[in-house]
Amino acid sequence: MDNVVIVGAGRLGRALECILKERAGLELWDTDFAKHPEQKELAEIIPTAGFVLVCTPSWTLREALSQIKPLLDPMAVVILFQKGIEEQTLKLSPEIGRDVLGEEQPIAYIGGPMMAEECLLGQHSFGVVASQKEEALTPVLELFSGSTLRLESSSDLRGVPLAGVLKNVYSFVLGLATGLGWGKNACGWLAGRSIAEMDILMEKLGGDVETVYGPAGIADFIATAFNADSRNRTHGAELASRGSSVLESEGARSLPALLEMVPAEVLAQSPLLRAARDVAISGRPAKEVFDELAV
């Protein structure tokens, strides 16, 4: 039962394959056969897996888990990575995992700065694994021990995925500022305000505020918001500079659901979150919105 199956052969799935390349019994699978033509059938590889790493987009997670559920060993640890909110239910990925797989299945969540491009080059990455089950935490730490991914552990299974959502949204905000030509001084101020808002939102939405200041929060935010290759940042920059973008990012996609979760009095304390709403949802010109922020 030490076999490892990675579901999803996108950038993250490939990065994890690289990180775990020394492991025997490692299998990669994707719904798109063309991404990994030598893959085996799910029915062949899931039943013998001790770990299943689900690397699908957040909006396809429920479907992916439903597909593997009948094949899972009850002791297999399911590891999730999605940094989004399910639009219909406002649930984070571990909550979707419990919905589909039940309370008994060991579920863990990994967040933190894990840029796929750097992982594929063998560079170090850092994260935090969260679970409320010790039988999930210890095996996951052992799975990645000695690899280029260094993991801390946490019991904050609400806050760690929520931090991933927030860092995506606020990286999108930094992208908007970048697209408007804001300089380093202004973006430094904006980053500080972003972290302050993440702190407030984490507390009000049921996570541990300390999580904001760990790998899943501030570390991942810095890695994403100031990375020219970041999809969230690039989406914001294009939207601000051109008025439109062909890109789709987790940050912008999560924004409507996040706004539904945030009480009105908390939104009133969150001018950057309102700015993201005004540009991405209400369609106000980014320059007009950000000029108001700078007053």
How many whole angstroms separate alpha carbon 34 and alpha carbon 151? 32
Contact present, 231 and 200 (Cβ < 8 Å): no
Distance, first Cα to last Cα, the chain: 59
Q: Which of 69, 167, 204, 287 is catalytic?
A: 167
Point out the annotated binding site.
Answer: 83, 116, 231-232
Point out the annotated binding site for NAD(+).
Answer: 116, 231
Q: Which two tokens stand for residue 95?
A: 């909550």
How many whole angstroms separate alpha carbon 54 and alpha carbon 65? 8
How many whole angstroms separate alpha carbon 139 and alpha carbon 232? 32
Residue with tokens 């909006």, as numbered in its chain: 59
Annotated catalytic residue 167: yes
Residue with tokens 């639009």, as numbered in its chain: 87
Q: Which two tokens stand for residue 284?
A: 């106000």
The backbone torsions φ and ψ at residue 127, rounded to the nearest 5 degrees and listed phi first, read -155, -175
Q: Which two tokens stand for residue 47?
A: 């039943």
Active site residues: 167
